[in-house]
Amino acid sequence: MSELVARETGLGGYAYGPDSCAIYVDHGCQALCQDTRANAATVTIHELHHVLRMRRRPWPRFDGVCAGEVLALEGLATQCEMFLGYPEPINVRATSEGLTRDCLATIAPVVGDPGANWQWIYALNGFPERVYKSVYPMGHCIVGAYLARTANTPMTALDVPWEEIWREASDHLGLMHLS
């Protein structure tokens, strides 16, 4: 099945923009029968959060997106799942804090440059296979640090610029500041 579907749940999703998203189901996946209601809810929450953020914040064409915006988008969505009472998502659960911080330190110098070579965040980069892509723990970490330092929730932060999220979290995480 599609790379958009998690083997652990048989479900996945993709937000196409401010007007649509899709939820994918692998009917042949045996895991689909376990915790189906909760897994379907978290996938839906995640993708709808993307759609809502894209509606609240101007979303550039793909070649105009920087890593900072993608990290904020994914981190806010994973944090929203937890905010609404679901467990920490499998794609961020029990990941190495050191590896996450190392990846964030690597992306820091080019986090705001859409033309930089930052697409490596869509690979595993040393994380366990269940993480799918390092963008998830990186985004979850940076947004989690931001939320811990502010009075925002993943819902009230929908329209917060990624630069503000990065700036606020960078002190807490010891990351390079934006220039």
Q: What are the tens digits of pLDDT across the range 9-57?
A: 889 999 988 899 999 999 888 888 888 899 999 999 999 999 999 998 8
Residue 31 covered by a domain: yes
Residue 1 covered by a domain: no
Residue 54 covered by a domain: yes
Q: What are the DSSP calls for 70-120, one per residue?
A: HHHHHHHHHHHHHHTTPPPPTTTTT--HHHHHHHHHHHGGGTT-TTSS-GG
pLDDT at 113 over 90: yes
Residue 151 covered by a domain: yes
Three-state DSSP at 128 gives coil
Number of domains in the chain: 1
pTM score above 0.85 = yes
| C-beta separation of 138 from 166 below 8 A | no
Instruction: Quote the domain boundaries for residue 60.
Output: 11-173
* Helix (H), strand (E) at residue 166: helix 162-173
Q: Which residue has the tokens 């944090």?
A: 79
Torsion angle of alpha carbons 91, 101, 143, 149, nearest 10°? 140
Residue 3 covered by a domain: no
Least Cα distance to 137 among 84, 105, 93 occurs for: 93
- Which tens digits make up the pLDDT trace of 55-107? 988 776 666 889 999 999 999 999 999 999 999 998 888 788 888 889 999 99
